[in-house]
């Protein structure tokens, strides 16, 4: 029973970690253009 619970917990944490990693790399790659008022 304990091993099954640990397996489920590790699977959930793995999914959460991969979602965080993919969204973080998406935000790093996405760099919007700066407004012209800030480009002085």
Per residue in 1-40, pLDDT (tens digit) is 888 999 999 999 998 888 776 666 666 666 667 777 766 5
pTM equals 0.52
pLDDT at 24: 63
d(CA 10, CA 22): 18
Give me the pLDDT at residue 19, please. 76
Instruction: Specify the pLDDT at position 17.
Output: 85
DSSP string, 1-39: -HHHHHHHHHHHHHHHHHHHHHHHHHHHH--PPPPGGG-
Give me the torsion for CA of 22, 23, 24, 29, rounded to 10°: 90
CA separation for the pair 3, 9 (Å, rounded): 10
């Amino acid at each position: 029973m304990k091993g099954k619970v640990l397996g489920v917990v590790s699977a959930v944490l793995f999914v959460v970690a991969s979602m965080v990693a993919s969204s973080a790399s998406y935000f790093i790659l996405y760099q919007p253009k700066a407004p012209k008022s800030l480009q002085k």
